[in-house]
């Protein structure tokens, strides 16, 4: 999508259960016709509910990089 849009856009907000959120976001992303708005722009990533997951991923990445160097 470019800067100039030929169709009207609409803003929708929905709420889903935390257990289903990954699947919902994945399916919405496959549509390739929507944009997400980050409502937590002022927050540090590690203060958000998924911060512990980010830390685990970062640790796993460090381990993989260490294995790659060996």
**49: helix, coil or strand?**
coil
User: Model confidence at 5, in pLDDT bands (50, 70, 90)?
Assistant: low
The pTM of this model reads 0.41
Instruction: Supply the pLDDT for residue 4.
Output: 67
User: How many Å from the N-terminal Cα to the C-terminal Cα in the chain?
Assistant: 43
Q: Any idea where the domains of the chain sit in the sequence?
A: 43-70
Per-residue pLDDT reduced to its tens digit, 9-56: 788 888 888 888 888 888 888 887 777 777 778 888 777 777 788 788
Of 1-5, 38-42, 43-47, 57-61, where does the model show the most confidence? 57-61
Report d(CA 50, CA 48) in Å as an integer: 5
DSSP string of 19-63, one letter each residue: GGHHHHHHHHHHT-S-----TTTTS-GGGSTTHHHHHHHHHHHHH
Is the pLDDT reported for residue 2 higher than 70?
no
């Amino acid at each position: 999508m470019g800067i100039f849009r030929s169709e009207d856009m609409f803003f929708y907000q929905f709420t889903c259960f935390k257990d289903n959120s990954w699947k919902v976001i994945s399916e919405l992303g496959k549509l390739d016709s929507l944009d997400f708005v980050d409502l937590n722009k002022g927050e540090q990533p590690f203060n958000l509910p998924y911060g512990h997951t980010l830390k685990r991923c970062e640790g796993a990445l460090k381990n993989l990089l260490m294995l790659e160097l060996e």
